[in-house]
Amino acid sequence: MKEKIKARVMDSKKIKRAFNRMATEITEKNRDLNNLVIIGIRTRGVHIAKRISKLIKEYDNVEVPVGILDITLYRDDFSELEDKHIVKKTEINFSIENKDVLLVDDVLFTGRTIRAAMDSLIDLGRPKTIQLLVFIDRGHKELPIRPDYTGKSLPTSRREQVKVKLKEIDKKDEVLITEPGGIG
Amino acid sequence: MSFNKKHLLGIQHLTKPEILTILDTAESLKEISKREVKKVPALRGKTIINLFFEPSTRTRSSFELAAKRLSADISSFSKASSSTVKGETLKDTVLNLEAMQTDALIIRHSASGTPHFLSTFCRSHIINAGDGTHEHPTQALLDAFTIREEKGKLKGLKVIIVGDILHSRVARSNIFLLNKMGAKVVLVGPPALVPPQMARLGAQVDYNMDRAVKDADVIMMLRIQLERQQKNFFPSVREYRSLFSLTPKRFETARKNAIIMHPGPINRDVEISTQLADSLKSVILKQVENGIAIRMAVLYLLLGGKERDVTD
């Protein structure tokens, strides 16, 4: 199905500014950056996580490790998916026991992905805290989940889709609101 | 990448992309068995029954653990403890089990074609865990997974399979799979156990072990089924050993990075010397370890996610 671009809500300059602000907020809130680990949810959350880690290194000269989480095996919304989800690797090469874990995803919508991610994390160990960073908070949550750090809050209709495009995968940084097209 | 089959009856009818999907999924799932909590909720609420009409330790416990690590409920039974001893037909046994709302049946049976037979009337997913002398698909998949892990590829490798090819479902599944993935397969053994017609499956036949070993990348030894020896497929175990056993002396002539495989159970110092079986060149226990990941992948791809109209 073709999709129609309704609006371009952020360009690379605004995205960069949002990243800088979030990295500052993280370093302010987490006194002990050495206890912090970042876990990105596949696929775009991983790239956002890596950028945040890089910024913290620039600001405070602390290496914050980044892990990759695939939540396919923890999903509860299979029935809504067209095709079977292919499982990809979870790569977390450090212990999360007693760590401050910063969970990172691109878009917060229903909250079900984050629920699955938290279940998965807790199977891997007992973190001291879990904080949540999402680049776009678009509303329509179905679970009591709120982000600690947000790139932008973007009220949308359910019909609309939010696309966070990142240089690493999509060649350029931008945030789009799209709508399924081809009807009428 | 996708997987739309309802059953896993054999390798013969799988496509190359389907095989790759299974191998790649297994690669992602392997890590779960190394966690402290070796469990994910992917198949929560699914009921699986292991129906083993032939003895097995590896395959049966491997399927059981694979199912449990995906949070499925699995119950196993063997021929001795089933009502078949009271004369119940296979079809009735299976229909009764299905009445208990099973989602998948894993079957091992001495009659070739049993899994296919079940698939003609069962609602559940059928997984072949070895049928007669026909196929043993998950063994071939875990072998391919292990080779790929050790060698980084399958294409272009020379794999020799040595021993009782005639009675081996492992060999048959491996020939199909390795062919599809572009490896070269050479079958080695005495003519009574490696009939020339086997070449039709897509392999070369070589009756000279010394020659076959020389440029092999993978040496897959099969168990000499001593229980079949009353039919005299070869003159004596001693003769077999001198002509076809993998000994340190023979192995010295193989490629430097050649690996040794065996589906188990091994007859030490019959088809393979103890020294080699326990050496660093042997990946026999890695095969067993990878078996869990492969079986998790198969169960997940068949039972996980959305239930929808599937073919096969």
Most B-contacting residue of A87, A93, A97, A121 (CB-CB within 10 A), to test interface: A87
Asked if B308 is an interface residue toward chain A (Cβ–Cβ < 8 A), one would say: no
Nearest CB among B25, B41, B42 relative to A86 is that of B25
Q: List every span in chain B annotated with CATH 3.40.50.1370.
A: 16-136+289-303, 138-283
Report pLDDT digits (tens) over B177-212.
999 999 999 999 999 999 999 899 999 999 999 999
What residue of B is the nearest CA neighbor of A69?
Answer: B28
How far is A177 from chain B, CA to nearest CA, in Å? Answer: 28
Of the ranges A10-19, A77-86, B183-192, B231-240, which one carries the lowest mean pLDDT score?
A77-86
Q: Does B36 touch chain A (CB under 8 A)?
A: yes
- Strands A174-180 and A161-165, by their bridges, are antiparallel
How distant is the Cα of A80 from the closest Cα of chain B, in angstroms?
8
Mean pLDDT of A24-37: 97
The answer on pLDDT for A80 being more than 50 is: no
Q: Which residues of A42-56 are buried (b: 16+ CB within 10 A; e: fewer)?
A: bebbbbbbbbbbebb
Indicate yes or no: CB of A84 within 8 angstroms of CB of B36.
no
Q: Do A78 and B306 touch (CB under 8 A)?
A: yes
- CB contact (8 A) between residue B305 and residue A123: no
Residues of A near B (Cβ–Cβ under 8 Å) read 70, 72-74, 78-79, 81, 83-91, 119-120, 123-125
CATH code of the domain made up of B16-136+289-303: 3.40.50.1370
Q: What is the pLDDT at residue B229?
A: 67
Q: Which helix (H) or strand (E) holds B117?
A: helix B114-119
Confidence (pLDDT) at B8: 98
Kindly report the nearest CA distance between residue A79 and chain B, in angstroms.
Answer: 5
Phi, psi of B256 (to 5 degrees): -60, -40
**Identity of the residue in A74, A86, A123 whose CB atom sits nearest the CB atom of B37:** A123
Chain A closest-CA separation from residue B304 CA (Å): 8
Is B36 within 8 Å of A120 when comparing Cβ atoms? no
- The confidence score (pLDDT) of residue B296 equals 98
Amino acid at B222: L
3-state SS of B224-244 is: CCHHHHHHCCCCCHHHHHHHH
pTM of the model: 0.91
Minimal Cα–Cα distance from B80 to chain A, Å?
A: 36
pLDDT at B1: 55
pLDDT at A83 over 80: no
Angle CA A152–A98–A36, to nearest 5: 40
Nearest CA in chain B to A80: B306
Tokens of B192: 């009574």
Contacts of B109 (CB under 8 A, 6+ apart): B51, B53, B54, B90, B115, B130, B131, B132
pLDDT of residue B83: 74
- Average pLDDT over every residue of A17-43: 97
Q: Are B84 and B53 in contact (CB under 8 A)?
A: yes
Identify the residue among B28, B71, B302 best suited for mutation to test binding to A, counting A beta carbons within 10 A and taking the highest.
B28
Query: How many C-beta atoms surround the C-beta of residue A7 within 10 A?
Result: 13
Cβ contact A64:A75 at 8 Å: no
C-alpha dihedral, B292 to B217 to B130 to B302, nearest 10°: 50
Handedness of CA B242, B243, B244, B247 (dihedral sign): positive
**Which CATH code fits B138-283?**
3.40.50.1370
Task: Write out chain B residues lying below 8 Å of A127, CB-based.
Answer: none
Chain B partners within 8 Å of A119 (Cβ)? 41
Give A-chain residues touching B3 at CB under 8 angstroms.
84
Tell me if B258 sits within 8 A of B218, measured CB to CB. Answer: yes
- In order of their start, the domains of chain A are 13-156 (3.40.50.2020)
Q: Answer for the pair A135, A48: CB distance below 8 angstroms, yes or no.
A: yes
Nearest CA in chain A to B43: A73
Is B87 near chain A, with CB under 8 Å? no
**Cβ pair B31:A89 closer than 8 A:** yes
Nearest to B2 among A72, A84, A87 (CB): A84
DSSP B29: H
Nearest to A88 among B28, B35, B42 (CB): B28
d(CA A87, CA A169): 19
What digits encode the pLDDT tens for the residues B240-251?
999 999 999 999
Read off the pLDDT of residues A130-164 as tens digits, 9 standing for 90 and up.
Answer: 999 999 999 999 999 999 999 999 999 999 999 99
* Token reading at B86: 């009271």
Angle between helices A12-29 and A44-60 (to 10 degrees): 60
Give B37→chain A minimum CA distance, Å.
6
Per-residue pLDDT of chain B (312 residues; tens, 9 = 90+): 578 899 999 999 999 999 999 999 999 999 999 999 999 999 999 999 999 999 888 999 999 999 999 999 999 988 777 777 788 899 999 999 999 999 999 999 999 999 999 999 999 999 999 999 999 999 999 999 999 999 999 999 999 999 999 999 999 999 999 999 999 999 999 999 999 998 999 999 999 999 999 999 999 999 988 776 667 788 888 999 999 999 999 999 999 999 999 999 999 999 999 999 999 999 999 999 999 999 999 999 999 875 444 444
Strands in chain A per DSSP E = 3-10, 36-41, 66-69, 100-108, 129-137, 149-153, 161-165, 174-180
